[in-house]
Structure formats: structure tokens, C-alpha cells
A = this chain, B = another copy of it.
């Protein structure tokens, strides 16, 4: 089995905490530990690695930052293997794109192909309560917004529709990517400029698409769901392009 840490020897040597963190990762996989399993305590690790408390603690912080462990105080406390949460994964990936400046078009290029794929795969596979959740979500923006603030709230809510679908994906990769794009679009806080009036017609179309989509999903009509979602993505993109938008990147936390 190839070592987990494959590293060229020209790079600057790794700091000890990083080395320790890597060793612990290796140890966890070697030991076959799963989420929830307990790691050796601080004191234990100190003697095992023959290193100072601070070094061990820094190593744990590294693992924690990557979302791989959680730590609790008190008796029975300690560090525990933790399945990286989707939120954490999205946040970490968001930091990467913080420096690239993505355009709305970049995101929609992917949405345009992936969201219809997701919709098709979900047709006939959603439990009734999820379908109802989708319908309740749609109800939040059944009428055009009256002011800019409400418009923004509706926009975020309509994105949430897609996040709900993404959560239901059978394909974890597909679900994650779509969920992440929804997050990007939500974070890119959008301020519509005053001189570009809201396009009520397009907005209404988007709303109708979502209603029709829920029906297709309930009926199990995959082809129909795919077609509707394709239309929906196209109008959504058109809507975004028409509104002059101001994009604001930011770091993501926790």
C-alpha cells in the first residue's frame, strides 16, 4: 500500500504539528476507525509521539479545522473521529473560490447541465413530505416582491428550492456540487440596481417552472422534469443577466 504522505523532498520541511496530524490520519485509517470513535487522549498522544503538549494541540487543531475530528472536554471527553460535514466542506471549498472571481455565467454553465440531470434522477423518487416541503417553499414567493428587500429574500428562498433537491440526490457528488453552487449564488449578495426594473414576467415564469417541476417529480416523469429544469435554468440565467448585479465575495466561517 502506498503511503498516504507522498511528498517531494525539495519542498520546505513540514512543521511538526503537521507531521503529527498526518501521522494521526494514517493511524486512524490503519486502525480502521470510523466516525464517532475515540482518539487517544492528549496525555497519551504526548507520550506516544514524545512531543510537547502544545505541539499535539496544534496538530489536533489542524484536524479539527479540516473537519475530521471534534473535541469535547470533561470526563469521557477527548477527540473523536468526525465525518466531515457538508457545511464544512462547502465552507472550505468556498475559501478556494474566494480568490478566483467566478462570474454568474461560470456558475450557470454548470447548473444548466447538472440541475436537469438531478431533476430527472429524482423523478418518482421523492417521498411525499419532501414534495410538500418544496411546495411550501414555492409559496414563499408566489407573488412579486414589493420592495428590494423582499425581492432579495425571495431570491434566496427560490435558491433554497434547489438546495432541497440537492439534499435528496442519490449521487453524493452531484448533490454536493449543486448545493455548493446554490451556496455561491446565495453568498454573492445581489443588489439589483434601481434603474433596471424587475422583470416580473421572467420571475413569474420561474415560479411556474418550479410548480410544474414538483408535479413532474411527483408523477415520476423524468423526461418532463429534465425538460422543465432546463427551461427553468435558462430563464433564471436570463433573469440574472438582466439585473445588474454587484457581487461581494467573502470568507466563510465555521
Contacts and interface: CB of A to CB of B under 8 A. Distances in A.
Interface of A: 2, 4-7, 14-15, 17, 21-22, 25-26, 28-29, 35, 54, 57-58, 61-68, 71, 83-84, 86, 88-89, 92-93, 95-100, 102, 106-107, 109-110, 113-114, 117, 171-174, 176-177, 181, 189, 250-254
Contacts of A26: 251
A116 B46 CA distance: 52
Contacts of A173: 97, 102, 106-107, 109-110, 181
A95 B109 contact: no
Contact of A54 (B21, B57, B113, B189): B57
Contacts of A61: 17, 58, 61-62, 65
Among A14, A71, A96, A109, the most chain B Cβ lie within 10 Å of the Cβ of A96
A95 B106 contact: no
B251 A97 contact: no
A68 B95 contact: yes
A25 B64 CA distance: 17
A240 to B, nearest CB: 15
Q: 5 smallest A-B Cβ distances: which pairs? A: A89-B96, A65-B65, A100-B172, A62-B65, A84-B96
B177 A177 contact: yes
A116 to B, nearest CB: 9
Given A29-B250, A58-B58, A106-B173, 13 more contacts: A2-B189, A4-B251, A4-B253, A15-B71, A21-B65, A35-B99, A66-B66, A83-B99, A86-B96, A89-B92, A89-B96, A106-B174, A109-B171
